[in-house]
Structure 1
Amino acid sequence: MVVAVAIAAGTVAGCARDNDSVDLQSYVDTIEPADVLYNQGLANLNAGDLREAQRKFNAVDRQHPYSEFARKANVMAAYTSYKLGRFDEAISASRRFVELYPTHEDASYAQYIIGLSYFSQMPEVTRDQRDTRLAIQNFNRLLEGYPGSIYEEDAKAKIRAARDQLAGKEMQVGRYYLERREYAAALPRFRLVVEDYPTTRHVEEALARLTETYFAMGLASEAQTAAAILGHNFPDSQWYADSYALLATGGLQPRQNAGSWISRATQNVLNRPAGG
């Protein structure tokens, strides 16, 4: 009986060793050259098979961690995460790459992916704009750290879009207070748009809302200045027509006060109002 048990135990041990050998050989057989894995990942990415592409890129890093293809695969894996909507994962991987290889030829692309990931998460204008600000911040890092990169123009366009979003948020809050006649709370929102976001599409309405707010507060000179600058820069605007009509109800006309903060804020961005 003892002999039988010993023989059985030896048989099991032998099988285990055989299985280990098979598993090890199977593992060895699955290792592929770094360039092959990387190109397979690109092919899968182009074919729209994002999950398989990411698996291939991760395999490059796992099997050839110190190769140049591994570094390139890291960036492509981050981009694949972005395409899959795994934005936190894409940001984390891209940020790690930029920190480890700031002078690598793909570092600008990794920084671009960070900006894209935040940009893709920008919420509706009624919600908190944290991701919008982070998109601007990271696109600016791209422009400052990698001037002249092929992503520069798109980054600039997205910064403009994100700044327009922030201006829209200020307008939304300002209108909220204005509708409730809380003029002291509304005023700084419209002022911020004129001072910080004068090149956005919201500046036209902001000047009209400043006219309305100052007029309601009895600050005629500031109301007239806002309307004058609005009229000079957007003479055919309905906002200007409404502002002109509003002033007329108080016997006033648009007239610029050169000492107003509105004049100082707009003189280098909008056209200088003539006369006044």
Structure 2
Amino acid sequence: MRSKLVKATAISLFALIISGCASSDSDEVQLSKQSATALYKQARTSMELGNFTKAVQTLSALDSRYPFGAHKTQVQLDLIYSYYKLDDSANALANIDRFLRLNPTHPDTDYVQFMRGLVNMQQDSYLFHDMFNIDRTDRDPTYAREAFADFEKLLISYPNSRYVKDARQRMLELRNRLARYSIQVAEYYMKMDAFSAAVNRAQLVVETYPGSDSTKRALEIMIEGYGELGQQTLQQHAQEVYSLNFESGE
């Protein structure tokens, strides 16, 4: 009885696999029969409905079959956005870099540069942690640095872009994120009595991320660290900066 059940299950699974392959092949055949205009219309409909998996499939077919078609540039832009919506950072970045390499003077390069920042920012975020409000400022900030650099490049290269305002706001968020990470490192050094390393990291926060929400704590670490190191002049200077910025209104 058990062997019959196993055999029946295996047959069912095989049938499902065959059915899936047949469906996939049928979709590809269907796409191959359509014109560039029809394919693009279908892709846009999928995007509007939020079906970005289907949109990527159609756009990729369009990009492959009509690489020099009338919609070629918009297809590349839509692929970037669709991969971003699917959280497929690797393919999004690959298409972004390809677009910037092949279309350096295109009027939408500011948008693509902005999307590069969004994709890297997306890689830095943790949806699970965001949902449950879990503080993970100790995670590797590589993607946050990349995103900050992407937005900074947008501001420098395209100062009149419509995306500048949004990029600036995101840079503020990233600045705070990077500053908090450095504070975490400085706090660790303080616990290990590595006071020189701690004050150096805290000073980096003050100088590299001015105005961040970690500036106050950075100065506190510098005051304490310089005190432990017996560097009274530097401690006094840090105290003066702290008093000027955080005690004058208290």
For the aligned pair, the TM-score class normalised by the smaller chain equals: 0.7 to 0.9
- Give secondary structure in 1 for the equivalent of 2:68: coil
Deviation at 1:86, TM superposition (A): 0.7
The answer to whether the Cα contact below 8 Å between 2:190 and 2:198 also exists between their aligned partners in 1 is yes
What is aligned with 1:76? Answer: 78
Of the candidates 145, 154, 178, which is equivalent to residue 142 of structure 1? Answer: 154
1:223 Cα offset (Å): 2.0
Shift of 1:175: 0.6
Question: Aligned with 1:68: secondary structure?
Answer: coil
The residue type paired with residue 117 of structure 2 is G
Identity level (%): 30
Q: Secondary structure at the match of 1:120?
A: helix
Match of 1:67 among 61, 66, 69: 69
Helix, strand or coil at the partner of 2:71: helix
Asked whether the equivalents of residues 31 and 61 of structure 2 are also in contact (C-alpha less than 8 Å), the reply is: no
Letter in 1 for 2:192: R
Deviation at 1:90, TM superposition (A): 0.2
Alignment partner, residue 219 of structure 2: 207
Unaligned residue ranges in structure 2 (runs of 5+): 1-25, 126-135
* Residue 233 of structure 2: aligned partner: 221
The one-character-per-residue Cα deviations of 1:83-131 (angstroms, maximum 9, x if unpaired) are 1111011001111001101111222222222111111111643232211
- Do the aligned partners of residues 27 and 194 (structure 1) sit closer, same or farther apart at CA in structure 2, a change above 3 Å counting? closer
Residue 31 of structure 1 corresponds to which residue in structure 2?
Answer: 34
Query: What TM-score results when the alignment is normalised by the length of structure 1?
Result: 0.70
1:58 aligns with 2:68: no
User: Residue 236 of structure 1: CA displacement?
Assistant: 7.0
Aligned to 1:107: 109
Residue 127, structure 1, aligned to residue 130, structure 2: no
In the superposition, the TM-score normalised over structure 2's length comes to 0.77
CA contact (8 A) 2:36 2:69 kept: no
Relative to structure 1, is the Cα distance of residues 53 and 156 closer, same or farther in structure 2, using a 3 angstrom cutoff? Answer: same
Name the CA shift for 1:65/1:204 in 2 (closer, same or farther; >3 Å): same
Whole-angstrom distance in 2 between the partners of 1:146 and 1:65: 28
User: What runs of 5+ residues in structure 1 fail to find an aligned partner?
Assistant: 1-22, 242-276
After superposing the two structures, state which structure 1 stretch, 75-84 or 52-61, moved more: 52-61
Structure 1 residues 216 and 55: CA distance shift in structure 2, 3 A = same
**Alignment size in residue pairs:** 213
Structure 1 runs (4+) deviating above 3 angstroms are 26-29
Contact 1:215 1:223 in 2 (8 A): yes
- Within 5 Å, which residues of 2 pair with 1:123-202? 124-202=136-214
